[in-house]
Amino acid sequence: MTRIGLAIVVAACLVTACEQTAPVRQPLAFNHKRHLDAKMDCIQCHEQVEDGPIATLPLISKCMECHNEPQGKSPEEPKVRELAKTGEIAWVQVNRVPGHVYFTHQAHVTGGKIKCETCHGDMRTVSTPVVVPNVKIEMKTCIGCHEKRGVSNDCTVCHK
């Protein structure tokens, strides 16, 4: 990239927090709505969300628990078995706090009993892969809720 090009990208990032808004490409057209309509729970695929810092994204072995056999009629569905033959499936993480911020799902989901949709929107309506955050992560959102819920807003709670 030219120096001027880079300078423009950096400037645009400062204005729009581009690391959060540049759309990523996911390896497969995963459809949350289909799976949630089929009565699956978030924790079946995001296994650490109640007891760990990160929620985790599912391994292909999880998908193959059902997709060993064809499911439904979507032309995208046989690709699950194709991808399984090549090894692991490389989902791209979209929601991410910067390295200087400490966040943990356990405290919010299990401790604070906060619903996923408060921070991620209603996934039951999402039928295309997540390529940008449904809800933008901003310091003022974190602080606003902590204030309402009586949780400390000392800088060192979130910045380690």
Residues 65-84 that bind ligand HEC (CB under 6 A): 65-67, 71-72, 74, 76-77, 80
Q: Which of 13, 22, 84, 151 contacts ligand HEC by CB under 6 A?
A: 151
Are 130 and 26 in contact by the 8 Å Cβ rule? The answer is: yes
CA distance 26 to 49: 21
Residue with the two structure tokens 């650490």 = 48
Residues 118-147 that bind ligand HEC (CB under 6 A): 118-120, 123, 129-130, 137-139, 141-143, 145-146
Of 2 and 65, nearer to ligand HEC (C-beta) is 65
- Least Å distance, CB 2 to ligand HEC, is 26
Residue 155 binds ligand HEC, judged by CB under 6 A: yes
Are 155 and 142 in contact by the 8 Å Cβ rule? The answer is: no
Q: Which of 31, 47, 81, 84 contacts ligand HEC by CB under 6 A?
A: 31
The sign of the torsion formed by the CA atoms of 27, 89, 66, 46 equals negative
* Residue 159 vs residues 13, 34, 43: alpha-carbon distances, Å: 21, 38, 27
Residues 39-68 that bind ligand HEC (CB under 6 A): 40, 42, 44-46, 49, 54-58, 62-63, 65-67
CA distance 93 to 120: 13
Neighbours of 151 (CB within 10 A): 16
Residue 97 binds ligand HEC, judged by CB under 6 A: yes
Of 13 and 62, nearer to ligand HEC (C-beta) is 62
Of 7 and 136, nearer to ligand HEC (C-beta) is 136
Q: Which of 96, 125, 132, 147 contacts ligand HEC by CB under 6 A?
A: 96
Residue 158 binds ligand HEC, judged by CB under 6 A: yes
Which of 33, 30, 29, 13 has its CA nearest to residue 21? 13
